[in-house]
Amino acid sequence: MRRFVIGRGRNFLNRSHQQNLLSSSSSHCQSRFLSSTSVIDSPSSSSMAPTSSPAITVDSLNPKVLKCEYAVRGEIVSIAQELQTNPGSHSFDEILYCNIGNPQSLGQQPITFFREVLALCDHPSILDRSETQGLFSADSIERAWQILDQIPGRATGAYSHSQGIKGLRDTIAAGIEARDGFPADPNDIFLTDGASPAVHMMMQLLIRSENDGILCPIPQYPLYSASIALHGGTLVPYYLDEATGWGLETSEVKKQLEAAKAKGITVRALVVINPGNPTGQVLAEENQRAIVDFCKKEGLVLLADEVYQENVYVPEKKFHSFKKVSRSMGYGEKDISLVSFQSVSKGYHGECGKRGGYMEVTGFSPEVREQIYKVASVNLCSNISGQILASLVMSPPKVGDESYESYCAERDGILSSLARRAKTLEDAFNSLEGITCNKAEGAMYLFPRIQLPEKAIKAAEAEKTVPDAFYCRRLLNATGIVLVPGSGFGQVPGTWHFRCTILPQEDKIPAIVTRLTDFHKSFMDKFRN
């Protein structure tokens, strides 16, 4: 199995690299051709340009953009949106979106304390009014004052420092210290509009050409493949081992690194998503130690996607940040370059629409830090509500605060419900013919494997569709359930999967299980070998 995976990995890299070289050289040729044409026709070229239609065509767009794909909002979701706007076109009563980690779109309620503080910071002139005492908790009013006092001029409508408001970064650093038991420096924090822009920023800094590679897990969250494509680098895949619960083995990473080097790729960074997306596993601490040592030894930047750090559902696993793990190994600033990404979109709060997040950047020289700061400056700053929310997430109400009990009840209610939903869906998938599903130890997703019958694969090929997309499309049209085909995340070639979120509210889960079970039976009856 290992050998097979590695062999496939090489092909993936190979193909990806060739595509890069091709698109890059064709882009060069194309622009040279266009400009020399202009010169030859000049000075009358302008009058020869088409005047009846705009000049930009898909063929003349940046080929890196054309190459980029993002399955989470891909074809299946477009079909779902069409179905939703044509209720007469289908028999089911509603579309059940299980495609995207967007909890509040499915009815999850925001944490009251967080929203109180945000509202007060948005309209501080009510803070002194007596009616406000009756509407808002005492600690939300106090927290809003604290935050306003941290903002120069109390101006929540001003651009902040390019890294984010200093006082909020102090709060976040204190939250990281409390979480890890190791010091955190507010100057290491870069607040961003969600985690995605932070990931783009690091890719932009690290990728110089298609000869630069980024090691990414397969399956991966397609932000990574999209961002690497947009920045013109090469994705170097390492495969997670489905047989051991999506295990991450450094021997596999090492082999892929060597294979990439042999192809002339300079590998610059290793992406680890923990808890895993789309795979839902939570790494064991000793596994993390091995990864840290590997990055240190190979001189790789460790890009740690830790946005699901609050989403752990099994008692035997615990989230450990890579920063904590590396510091507990005695490694400091000089030893390893480490970036940890955090977001307000995930966790128990799920505030996706607020676009808040940060990256904690450690182990880079002051000169490199200056470049990161410059890139952050070009976009001025991230949105202040998102910044405030990021500070709240890292510093929620404490024992004794008026909101503490209601906060805990809201948080625990959401997390325990997510754990129940994960288990119910996992069991449901495992009860279906030809489907096996690893445990969702964390994050918000299941990534079951489906053994598609040969007849189904042939039928998909006849429709020029990838087999897992063929399954997902039929499922959607029959039941309204929206999944994302595994091919959007990457998978061992010849295997098929799909990603299913655990986010529909609990009262919807039985319907999902029933519809899925019924559909799957009839699908298998139709296509069984």
Residues between 149 and 188 that touch a second copy (CB under 8 A): 152-153, 155-160, 162
Element (H, E) at 488: none
Q: Does 298 bind a second copy (CB under 8 A)?
A: yes
83/102 Cα distance (integer angstroms) = 20
Containing 501, the helix (H) or strand (E) segment is strand 498-501
Binding status of residue 127 toward a second copy by CB under 8 A: no
Contact between 379 and a second copy by CB under 8 A: the answer reads yes
Distance of alpha carbon 426 from alpha carbon 447, whole angstroms: 9
| Helix/strand/coil for 445 | strand
- Nearest approach in angstroms of CB 390 to a second copy is 12
Using the rule CB under 8 A, which residue among 15, 22, 94, 107 binds a second copy? 107
Return the half-sphere exposure (C-beta side, CA atoms, 13 A cut-off) of residue 216.
Answer: 29
**What residue type is 100 in one-letter code?**
I
Task: Identify residues 12-71 at the interface with a second copy (CB under 8 A).
Answer: 27-28, 30-32, 34-36, 38-39, 42-43, 45-47, 49-58, 60-66, 68-70
Does 106 contact a second copy by CB under 8 A? Answer: yes
Q: Which is nearer to a second copy, 91 or 125 (CB)?
A: 125
Buried b or exposed e, range 488-521, using 16+ CB within 10 angstroms:
bbbbbeeebbbbbbbbbeeebbebbbebbeebbe
Instruction: Give the C-alpha separation, 391 to 467, whole Å.
Output: 44
What gap in Å lies between CA 98 and CA 106, rounded to an integer? Answer: 9
Shortest Cβ 406–a second copy spacing (Å): 12
Query: DSSP states of 164-201 as a string?
Result: --HHHHHHHHHHHHHHHSS---GGGEEEESSHHHHHHH
- The nearest distance, CB 93 to a second copy, in angstroms, is 16
According to the binding rule CB under 8 A, does residue 413 interact with a second copy? no
Min dist. Cβ of residue 437 to a second copy (A): 25
Within 271-290, the residues that bind a second copy by CB under 8 A are none
Which residues, 178 to 237, sit near a second copy by CB under 8 A? Answer: 193-194, 196-197, 200, 204-209, 211-212, 223, 226-227, 230-231
Residue 3 as a binder of a second copy (CB under 8 A): the answer is no
With contacts defined by CB under 8 A, name the span among 273-281, 349-357, 491-499, 520-528 that binds a second copy. 349-357
Of 8, 17, 169, 296, the one binding a second copy (CB under 8 A) is 296
Q: Given the complex with a second copy, which of 109 and 431 has the nearer CB atom?
A: 109
The kind and range of the H/E element at 336 are none
Cα dihedral 425, 426, 432, 438, rounded to 10, equals 150
11, 14, 18, 105: residue in contact with a second copy (rule CB under 8 A): 105
Regarding 255 and contact with a second copy (CB under 8 A), the answer is no
